[in-house]
Amino acid sequence: MKQALLKRLFFKLRWRINNKHNTTKAKNLFHQSSVTVGKHTYGPIEVLYDNGRGRLTIGNYCSIAREVKFFLGGEHNSIVSALGLSSQKYIPAIGVSNVMRTLTSLLKTMCG
């Protein structure tokens, strides 16, 4: 019991030392070398599946919601963002031209 508590305490302390440029908090134990967090990002980091081979990169000025869980080590072909993206490489499933057509159609419907 004491050993597990000490391990968790040292893990969180090491996380804070390595992440002085942000205010994230590690909710659980994971491979810290697999996770990179940018400047001024805040919120809890919870990695549920980490086999040591996956990578998680979170950019600068990001907000992470309390209930977000990250799963590493699988095959993922998309990038998730709360902001609009204007590059084809960031929207592989639908493409920029389809997004622009949809937006144009919505604007025409709304504005007459």
Please compute, for residue 50, the number of CA atoms within 13 A of its CA located in the half-sphere on the CB side: 17
pTM of model > 0.85: no
- The gap from C-alpha 3 to its chain's centroid, in whole angstroms, comes to 30
pLDDT at 71: 82
Tokens of 79: 């990038």
- pLDDT value at 99 more than 90: no
Question: How far is CA 74 from each of CA 9, 56, 102, rounded to the nearest angstrom?
Answer: 28, 11, 31
In angstroms, the first-to-last Cα distance of the chain is 67
Per the CB < 8 A criterion, the answer to whether 38 and 19 are in contact is: no
pLDDT digits (tens, 9 = 90+) for 67-77: 898 888 766 55
